[in-house]
Structure 1
Amino acid sequence: MTVEEMAQVTPSSPPPVYDAEDDESRQNLLHESRDSSFEIEQFELDDSPSGPLPGGSHPNASTSTLARAQQVAQNVATYSSKLFTPVKQLLDPVARFWHKCSVAMDVELARWGNPLILKRLVYLVFVSTFVILAILFGLVPNNRNSFGLPDAMATREDLLTYMREVLESSEMKSRLDYMSSMTHAAGTSGDLTLAKYVANEFKRYNLDNVEVKEIKGYVVMADNGQVGWEVVGEQGNQKREDQFGQTPEENSVPAFMANSHPGEAEGHAIFANYGTDADFKALEAAGIKLEGAIVFVAYNNVPTGLKVQTAQYHGAAAVVVFSNDPENADAVRRDTTTNVLMSPGFVNFPGGPRSYRPSKGVDPGDATAGSKIPVVPASLKDVAPVLQKLKSGARYDNDGVRYSGDDKSNVRIKVRNNVKTDEQHPLWNVFGRIEGNQQPDLNVIVGSARDAACFGAMDPMSGQIVMLEAARIISGMTQHLQWYPERTITFASWDGSKQGFAGSNERPIVFGHDLCDETTAYINVADAVTGSEFQAHGHPYFNNIVRKALVEVKSPQNESFVDHWPEKRVKQFRQAGDYMGLLSTCGIPSIDVGFKGSSFPHDTCKDTVGWRDEFLPDSIDYLKAMVEIVVRLALSSADDPVLPIDTAYYASEMRSYVDDLIKYSEEADPNFVHDFRGLDAAVARVETFSQKFIDATSQYSEITRAMEFPNNAAIRHSNNIALRKFESRLLEPRSPEEPRSWAQHCIFSPQAVPQEDFEWYTFGNIRDQLRLKRHDKAQELMQNAAHRIYKIYGNI
């Protein structure tokens, strides 16, 4: 249509005239349409076919699908309208009320500050309160306190009550009977069987990170019938000892000395008393020929390995070591010939716990801690006739009258030590852990030896039983009381303790955790019950918690054990043990606890269940008491907010250690006077530190009596780490090629040649130089030690 044509078109009707009243009618109509509900009009679509399309599709297929989609949309709209409209009508008044309240709240809060910030603060307080209440009332679904808050539901008294309720003497007895029913010398099938048993028990207790860790090194084992000694010209190799409840032939093992040098020797008999350095010097002074002699020495006073090396140094061809115990005269005591004071651990891998290990160890014959002459054990019953034949030489009156004999006597001895050796024999340490919930990287170890010289019913199995029962009880606390210690607790079953403490001197790295760097305390329970007299030896830090435990634990006579503690204090170590490398190489404060007895047949096949029942009828009661003591020590060490170190006792003991060192220096060389002013000043600094530490911990307890805020907890955690480093910073790094490179602690390292009348496990390296009259080196070590102590304990 053209423009002209369009212009000629006449409308069918003129437009309506505007009427103002029509606006009102339209508004009314609009409101009516909004207020009324309506339905979507349903259209009828013809689905009848009209013939196929090319390719076989139907022309009405898309039309049918569209119809079904429209039907679904209509149904959804209908249901939505019926559901949401009533809800909306219900919530709209609430929303309007909340809006009014929010406006009123903003007006009120504006008087005090920014309303937005204040509302966020109120929200934070509300959520925090809810979380704390959820924890307190056990609403948190997991057992572990993953929030890092104190376990308010389980107090220390709750834990101790639980311990007393579940402590099971019958289970301990049956476990002890089983574990001592077989011989289990290190590296044997019995030893491996018990390693697997301990690991399974750890898993049964639900400990974390259970691991059987294999280590390899030099191990000596006996060929049956090829180890012994005899008087030349007489019949009678040494006999095996009688055993309670068993025939001598039943389950017996040959008597041999661990790590002893293989070979045979023959020579004249010499008795050298206890085989100390002084004993051998006295023989030399008396003109007694030691070259080529078969030397008889009694156990005790100094480690067996030191006796052997001293005899070897003086020219002995072989050594026979016997137990000087008349009550067990037929007992043949086994021991290691490794000089553990020179280097504990595997003979061919000297140096103690370390972060690296050479791929191939040294030749055992060249090892500084090993023996180079045959050594065999004997009983007092077999040795007595030989000693009675020695009527000349030096005289000894300490155990009745005995003589040393000399090369002119007609008593000749032949020694055979045809043992099997293996430079890469496997041993097995077993570990299990309970992870801490606040400072899991700080660790407490509860450890015990597992391998035995024979059956080991009480030594070491009493210690294993105590360690296992402590693990079961503490793990049960985590499961039944929803409690976890602040710091991690690791339970260790050491192998190779009779092989020079091999297991505990392999650097303990468990699932990537280097226990040397992380451990705050080591609790050793080797032979936990071999008598009824409580003894505690170790680091002064433990004095308070040991005394507190003994006050609370009752004896079988229902008396406090502290009344039956002769010393009433923790004394310094007097013998070698699994703690040596951990303390002197890693700087871990260590303690050894147990009930001891003088007549116990140590390291003999007489140590059986039958002997226990005969001579220690109340041993199970003492085992229960020992479990209570160890659990209390572990809880204090791992769960006290601040590391429980007895600084006052430490300071007083430091003073006594220095006084003892001064006396030793005067005896070693009366003509030389050393300068001890540096050590005196260092001790004074420790005393000052002690008082500051006591005051600081007291103030902290007052501040956090009601609640410990996060910033206080962070400071406490930092201080615990610093306290752990105090002892590790007292280590003096030494070259691996240097003799006794493992003895790095400038205070707590043993003397190479102990002097029993002195505190030989303190300032050992300084004492060695004083004994050799190397005065300049001794003075240098004193100054180094004084500087370290003064610097470390000068800051708090």
Structure 2
Amino acid sequence: MRYQEVSTDIPPGEGELPRDPPVYEDIEAQCDDGTPSSSQRNSQDSLAREFEIMEMEDPGPAMLSLSQRWRSSFRSKVRAVRTNVLDPLAEGYSHCQRIWEMQLARLGNPLIVKRFVYVIAVAIVVFFVATSGFMPEDNSRQGGSFSDRSLLLDFAKSIVDLGAMEEHLEYLSSLEHISGTAGDLVLAKYIEKYFDQKELVFDGLEEMKTLSVFPESITLKFDQEEWDLTHQFNFLSKDGEVENGIVYMNHGTVSDFAKLDESKVDYQGAICLMKYGRISESEKMLIAENKGCAAVLFTSQSDAFPDSAERRGVGIPQFYPGDPHMEGWYTDETPHADFPDSRIPKIPSAVLTWNQAKKIWDKLSNGVEFDFNSGDKTLRATFKNQIVTKQDHLSWNVNGEIIGKEQKDKVLVIGAARDAPCTGAVNPNTGTVILLELINVLYKLRTKFNWKPLRTIRFISLGGSQTNFDGAVLHSTTSQSMFYLDLSEAIAGDDLEVTSSPLLESTLNLYKDEYNLQFKKWDKYTNALPFIGKGVPSMTVGYKGKKYPQYSCDDTFENFKSLQIDPQFEKHRDLLEFVLKIVLHLVDDPLIPFDMNDYEKELKEALAHLEDYAKKTQPAVNYEFNNMKTAISNLGQIGREMANWERAWKEIVDEDGGLEPSLLTVHRWNWNNKLSGLEKFFIGREGLPSRWWYKNYLFSPQMFNPEDDDLWWTFPSIRDALFFGQDAQLQIETVAQLIMDGVKHFIQR
């Protein structure tokens, strides 16, 4: 049947309704005696047939299939449950609801009263769940908002596994693992598996493609001697062949060369023999190159291990660490550029054992008398260094994290070198052992107490340490790093030495007597260098003082035991406990424990040394340091403001039984945001003059070690200008302005 559209307008002549109703033919056709018409009869017959069908009996059970019988039985049971259980419950619920509504109406507006009752019910449920143990909680809290430090430390001391540390050290020292070799990859995977077992968050091995140098053939010929030095190489040495006389340079310092110059000893184009020590190998190479040596032969500082060849790196981090062609090396501030690789020396080098060097010393005469005669090029020799250079050679970092529960973007980075000059039992394997056991202890704290740090911890097993700190560079440029702790060469003596940013000095002083800490100034290039250069406060720690065959293939587990470096692994245990305490301060103290007053004091001391250095290097020039003094004094403003806030914060939290109000938490987070990037407030975006990779104008190494000043890792741009005889006033004003701007930005942030 079609539906036709009806017009809203009434047609003409159809405005009135009909007076009589319509006539239905079927009704009219009905007989006078009441007999229905034919159409009615047909309709009634159809209806009767329907009733007959409906009244048919259901077929008996025998006529039904198994599925039909099952459905029939299930329906009957459901109907019974609904009739006997659900319907009465529904009626009871409706009755109770009516009574409940009536009672609520007596109390006031039912809608408002319902909401109030709902809030109370939810609070009761939450309280029950929180106190029942159904949900995990931080069991390290003993009242208050923060972990009970003594509880964590007492448990940690009870679970330190000395046997496991010894097993780790023995395995790590069982094979050579030079950076980028098969042995290095085996240990990287071993550590990766351990990270996974301890449930660290990690993405597998971090690959680095860097320039690597491997020896192919190294020989030295003189008189009737011909030595194969192929396994006595320096990392990142340059290839080359030199035929000339040998001159002994003592330690190869600027003052040693000055003595040779005073005695008019000719060393131009010579093969320069020098001992390790006093200054870095990279600086020795720079000085020798600038003075005119054609090649360098290194040897040990003493005859303690006369047949050990020390494979040290000669990469030059003074210009920049890492490989400039490595992905991730450059940032927006340090763009990638194709330029000569300044980290590679321009003259070749190799290593002699003490006994080999002794044979040469015995043949030298005349010249300057150091501990041995320098000679004067009369002993002729041919030195040939053939190397294999591999660009984009793979090496690896292994990274893992414990994510902080409060400010996860504030990251404490803990690193230990993994690659070694050979087997590396003491250096670097003891550091890796401490790293692994620290991870194990923190894992057990997490499982025992469901503890999480307030801030994130990132653990790194570093590759490329012998090749200009490639691995460390990749993590030094991240803005999240708030502090770097280096564990390389952890157990090498009886004296626990600490070199640290002054920001952590107050915290370290808490443990000075307990661990007999020996505080040292920065004077060595380590994996901390890239972090310091980018404005990340850093610290290195380890037991030092014993002689061992360092950097050689005699640095084995067997010699570690025979030399009694740590026979009972007690120093491993003590160092682990000390490091754990420092780590907990950095990631679990409510307020990051940086002390600006110590920072100011260190800079004032450094400035006094700088003034003395200026008078010594350029006595005719009267430099003005008043602006720097004023700028450094302004740091005290931050220190005082910080101390006042921390004191007020402690009073409020103590009054509340250790509970921190939410508004106060927000203020504390803001302070931590500023403290975590504190040294970055004082960096120069353009970098140091001629060494633009380094951004830290306050704490970075001077280009050349002045030898008699232990604060040469401060104010590098000014010191460089003074050393090279340049006008240093511009750099003095630049540093003063950086400090003043940094203080201003810190306060306003």
TM-score by length of 2: 0.84
Unaligned runs of 5+ in 2: 1-21, 29-50, 59-69
Q: How many residues align?
A: 696
**Cross-structure match for 1:527:** 489
Question: Among residues 428, 436, 450, which one is paired with 2:404 in the alignment?
Answer: 436
> Does 2:744 correspond to 1:782?
no
Q: Matches of 1:425 and 1:540 in 2, distance apart?
A: 38
CA contact (8 A) 2:682 2:739 kept: no
Q: Which residue of 2 aligns with 1:45?
A: 54
330-339 vs 458-467, which deviates more?
Answer: 330-339
Q: Deviations over 1:692-738 (max 9, x none)?
A: 211211211222233223222222222211222321122212279x6
Contact 1:678 1:782 in 2 (8 A): no
Q: Give a deviation string over 1:484-508, Cα, whole Å, max 9, x none.
A: 1111111001111111111111346
Match of 2:414 among 443, 446, 451: 446
1:661 aligns with 2:613: no
One-letter code aligned to 1:697: E
Q: How does 1:165-564 map to 2 (within 5 A)?
A: 165-223=158-216, 226-230=217-221, 232-237=222-227, 254-346=231-323, 354=331, 362=339, 366-396=340-370, 401-407=371-377, 410-507=378-475, 516-549=478-511, 560-561=514-515, 564=516
Report the secondary structure of 2:215's partner residue.
Answer: strand
Match of 1:672 among 609, 621, 631: 621
Q: How much has 1:405 moved relative to structure 2?
A: 2.2
For residue 6 of structure 2, what is the aligned residue in structure 1? none
Q: Matched residues in 1 for 2:250 and 2:364: separation?
A: 13
Contact 1:446 1:522 in 2 (8 A): yes
Secondary structure of 2:686's match?
coil
SS of the equivalent of 1:458 reads helix
CA contact (8 A) 1:354 1:506 kept: no
Residues of 2 paired with 1:359 and 1:779: CA distance?
Answer: 29
How far is 1:171 from its partner?
Answer: 0.8
- 1: CA distance, partners of 2:155 / 2:266: 65
Aligned-residue CA RMSD (Å):
3.8
Quick one: structure 1 residues 459 and 329, their matched pair in 2 at CA, closer, same or farther if it must change by over 3 Å? same
Match of 2:11 in 1: none
State the partner residue of 1:750.
701
Which has the higher mean CA deviation after the structures are superposed, 436-445 or 378-387?
A: 378-387
User: Which whole-Å CA distance do the structure 2 matches of 1:177 and 1:411 have between them?
Assistant: 44
Aligned counterpart, 1:699: 648
SS of match in other structure, 1:459? helix
Q: Does 1:741 align with 2:689?
A: no
Indicate the residue corresponding to 1:725 in structure 2.
677
CA deviation digits over 1:315-358, x for unaligned, max 9? 11110111112322322111111111222112766996636998
Alpha-carbon separation, structure 2, partners of 1:123 and 1:750: 65
Quote the Cα distance in structure 2 between the aligned partners of 1:356 and 1:613.
Answer: 48
Alignment equivalent of 1:134, drawn from 122, 129, 135: 129
Q: Which moved more, 1:443-452 or 1:669-678?
A: 669-678
Letter in 2 for 1:778: Q
- SS of the residue aligned with 1:402? coil
Offset of residue 433 of structure 1: 0.9
Deviation at 1:306, TM superposition (A): 1.4
Deviation at 1:795, TM superposition (A): 5.0
Q: Provide the rounded CA distance (Å) in 1 between the counterparts of 2:737 and 2:329.
A: 22
**Alpha-carbon deviation of 1:459?**
0.3
TM-score of the two chains, using structure 1 as the length reference: 0.80
Residue matched to 2:556: 608
Matches within 5 A, 1:684-695: 684-695=633-644
Secondary structure in structure 2 of the residue aligned to 1:606: coil
Shift of 1:47: 4.0
Amino acid at match of 2:588: D
User: What CA deviation, in whole Å up to 9, does each residue of 1:136-164 have, x standing for no partner?
Assistant: 55321x6799xx99996952223222312
Matches within 5 A, 1:82-93: 82-87=84-89, 90-91=92-93
Q: 1:99 to 1:613 in 2, by over 3 A?
A: same
Letter of the structure 2 residue corresponding to residue 646 of structure 1: D
> Displacement, 1:652?
1.4
Are the equivalent residues in 2 in contact too, given 1:347–1:370 (CA < 8 A)? no
CA contact (8 A) 2:177 2:419 kept: yes
Whole-Å Cα distance in 2 between the matches of residues 416 and 135 of structure 1? 74
> What's the offset of the Cα at 1:102?
2.7
Q: C-alpha separation between the residues in 2 aligned to 1:180 and 1:210?
A: 26
Q: Secondary structure at the match of 2:408?
A: strand
Contact 2:218 2:228 in 1 (8 A): no
Please give the alpha-carbon distance, in whole angstroms, between the structure 1 residues aligned to 2:521 and 2:100: 73
Contact map agreement 1:269 1:293 (CA 8 A) in 2: yes
